[in-house]
Amino acid sequence: MIALTFRNPATLPILASIMLTLLCLISLGVGAGGTSLADLWHASGDTEILAISRLPRTLAAVLAGAGLAIAGLIMQAIARNRFVEPATAGTAQSAELGILLVTILWPAAALGWKALAASLAAVTGTALFLMTAHRLPATQPYLVPLFGLVYGGVIGAAATFIAWQTDLLQYLSVWSNGDFSGVLRGRYELLWLGAILVAVAWLIADRLTIMALGRETSIGLGIDYARMLQIGLVIIAVISAVTVVVIGIIPFVGLVVPNLVSRLMGDNMRATLPATALSGAILVLGCDILGRLIRFPYEIPVGTVMGVVGAILFLFLLFRRHTDA
């Protein structure tokens, strides 16, 4: 693993940028519409399909992937635990519950309002999780993710129960399993909010890194810990909520990407944040392309593909853990 260590902070982002560019080109060329990249190049194909469907879909995957990876990174820093992520520790489930409730109470609500309701629910759900996580004994690091799984499961179950009672189970499945096939121009732009929040995270990267060293070190270095906790919470919750509203839950991205990048580059977010965002985008876009190709011309939702790919990556991380210096 030592040979794989990217101590030059520029190496990984450059490699990742090249790979992401390639994937974007592939993504623009793949689809049931039968228009290939070569056709698009010669302008003989249907360029409309590019502007309306494939470009938005590609951008959506990049934005969602980058956002989810950063949300995971921040959540792990704040919870001081490498095994939590918004998709399993109750953030995404709370967002889901929020959309469900607003759909029941105000069925005609526009996407923006649904996103707002989802964000508020996600902030509340995540705050409760973090408050509890900070109370769990630091000597038992596996308690935090375990609690997160149970907590997320309970909120998810509550959402399922309400959806079942109100005949909205089919709606719920749209949010609980991420899928890019519904992305069209005009229906994904909320995801740019995630990009703005990633930029905010970049601005406060030093403070987030110090926060991962704990409350006392943070205060000792003059950081307003409570305020930073609130900012981090909002970033995690809004990125997750917007993704759930537009795409649905995509598991594992927030878990495996920050861990992989940390293995290669360490924990200084000023250095790792770009690589984490790029890697998240690569993983999600790659899984979406895979989902489009496996049963071409039919599609497998990205949430399902990620469930398999993410689990394999996570197992890889676990088994490499002890051989790592």
Residues of this chain that interact with another protein (CB under 8 A) are 7, 138, 205-207, 209-210, 212-213, 215-217, 219-224, 262-263, 266-268, 270, 325
For the bound state, the minimum distance from the C-beta of residue 305 to another protein, rounded and expressed in Å, comes to 29
Nearer to another protein, 226 or 308 (CB): 226
Nearer to another protein, 103 or 262 (CB): 262
What's the burial of 253, exposed, middle or buried (CB within 10 Å: 0-12/13-18/19+)? buried
322: Cβ–Cβ under 8 A, 6 or more apart, which residues?
none
Which is nearest to 286 in space by CA: 9, 45, 58, 35?
58
Which is nearest to 23 in space by CA: 273, 298, 260, 281?
281
The Cα 270–Cα 272 span in angstroms is 6
For the bound state, the minimum distance from the C-beta of residue 217 to another protein, rounded and expressed in Å, comes to 8
Nearer to another protein, 43 or 325 (CB): 325
Nearer to another protein, 9 or 307 (CB): 9
The Cα 68–Cα 156 span in angstroms is 19
173: Cβ–Cβ under 8 A, 6 or more apart, which residues?
none
Nearer to another protein, 119 or 209 (CB): 209
Which is nearest to 53 in space by CA: 303, 299, 305?
299
For the bound state, the minimum distance from the C-beta of residue 219 to another protein, rounded and expressed in Å, comes to 6
For the bound state, the minimum distance from the C-beta of residue 151 to another protein, rounded and expressed in Å, comes to 23
For the bound state, the minimum distance from the C-beta of residue 220 to another protein, rounded and expressed in Å, comes to 5
Nearer to another protein, 48 or 324 (CB): 324
For the bound state, the minimum distance from the C-beta of residue 75 to another protein, rounded and expressed in Å, comes to 16
